[in-house]
Chain A
Amino acid sequence: MAPARTTAARTGAKPRPSAGAASRLDLLEALLLARDPEQCSQRALTWLQRQCGVRRALCLAADAARVRLVPVASLGLPSQRLDRFSVDLDVRDHPLTQALLSSSPVLLSMNGHASAVTPLGQGPVQAIPLAPLSPRHLPAGLILVSPPIQAAAGDARWLARVLGPRLAALMETRRAEESEQRLHRERGLLFGIINAVTDPILLTDADGRIIIANSRAETLLAADEDQSEGRRQAVTLNNMLFSAALSRHAIEGVGAPRHEMPLVDPVDGSDLLFELMSTPASPDSRQAGGIVSILRNVTDLQRATAEIEENYRKLRHTEADARAERDRLDLVIDSVADPILVTDPGGNIVMMNAPAERLFVARPEVDSEEAHRQVQANDAHFSSFVSNLFFEGDSRRRTGGINLVDPTTFASLPMEAISGKIVSEHGEVTAVVTILHDRTEEFERARLYEELKKASAELENKVRDATSELVRQNELLRRSHIALEQASALKSQFLANMSHEFRTPLNAILGYTSMLLKGVSGELSGQQRRNLERIDSNSHHLLSIINDILDISRIEAGKMPLTLVDFVIPDVIGEVLAEVEPLIARSKLAVTHELGDALPLVRSDRQKVKQIVINLLTNALKFTPQGWVKVTASYDKRLDRVAIAVTDSGIGISPKDQEIIFEDFRQADDSPTRQYTGAGLGLAICRRLTQMLGGELTVRSALGEGSTFTLTVPGAPRDE
Chain B
Amino acid sequence: MTARESLLVLLVDDYPDNRDIYVQFLTYSGMQVEEAENGHQALDKAFALHPDVIVMDLSLPGLDGWEATRRLKDDPRTRDIPVIALTGHALAGHSKGALDAGCDAFITKPCLPERLLDEIRAILETARTRSGDTTT
Contacts and interface: CB of A to CB of B under 8 A. Distances in A.
B28 A507 contact: no
Question: What 10 A-B pairs are tightest by C-beta distance, nearest first?
Answer: A511-B21, A507-B110, A508-B17, A500-B88, A503-B88, A507-B109, A514-B112, A520-B28, A503-B109, A561-B92
Contact of B113 (A500, A503, A515, A559): A515
A631 to B, nearest CB: 28
A504 B88 contact: yes
Given A496-B89, A500-B89, A514-B114, A508 B24 contact: no
A554 B91 contact: yes
Contact of A560 (B25, B92, B109): B92
Contact of A512 (B15, B21, B59): B21
Contacts, number: 65
B34 to A, nearest CB: 19
Nearest to B96: A561
Interface in B46-87: 59
A496 B24 CA distance: 29
Contacts of A508: 15, 17-18, 21
Contacts of B90: 496, 499-500, 503, 547, 550, 554
Interface in A538-570: 543, 547, 550, 554, 559-561
A510 interface: yes
B111 interface: yes
A520 B24 contact: yes
Interface string B92-136: 110000000000000001111110000000000000000000000
The prevalent SS among residues of A at the interface is helix
Contacts of A550: 90
A510 B110 contact: yes
A518 interface: yes
Interface of A: 496, 499-501, 503-508, 510-512, 514-515, 518, 520, 543, 547, 550, 554, 559-561
Contacts of B15: 504, 508
B41 to A, nearest CB: 19
Contacts of A561: 92
Given A514-B114, A515-B113, A507 B18 contact: yes
A511 B92 contact: no
A507 B18 CA distance: 7
Given A504-B18, A520-B25, A511 B112 contact: yes
Contacts of B112: 510-511, 514
11 contacts: A496-B90, A500-B89, A503-B109, A503-B110, A504-B88, A506-B110, A507-B18, A507-B88, A554-B91, A559-B92, A559-B93
B66 to A, nearest CB: 16
Instruction: Tell which of B21, B92, B111, B114 has the most Cβ of chain A within 10 Å.
Output: B21
Nearest to A519: B28
A90 B63 CA distance: 187
Pick the most buried of B28, B91, B113: most chain A CB atoms within 10 A of its CB: B91
Contacts of B92: 554, 559-561
Contacts of B111: 507, 511
A178 B24 CA distance: 199
Given A503-B109, A507-B18, A518 B114 contact: yes
Nearest to A510: B110
Contacts of B25: 511, 515, 518, 520
A366 B12 CA distance: 125
A708 B55 CA distance: 45
A306 B18 CA distance: 142
A121 to B, nearest CB: 185
A511 B88 contact: no
Contacts of A514: 112-114
A236 B121 CA distance: 162
A507 B59 CA distance: 15
A501 B88 CA distance: 8
Contacts of B110: 503, 506-507, 510-511, 543
A291 B24 CA distance: 181
Nearest to B29: A520
B54 to A, nearest CB: 19
A519 B15 CA distance: 23
Contacts of B18: 504, 507-508, 511
A488 B109 CA distance: 25
Contacts of A500: 59, 88-90
B97 to A, nearest CB: 14
B10 to A, nearest CB: 18
Interface string B10-42: 000001011001101100100000000000000
Given A511-B21, A511-B22, 8 more contacts: A500-B89, A503-B109, A504-B18, A504-B88, A507-B109, A508-B15, A515-B28, A518-B25
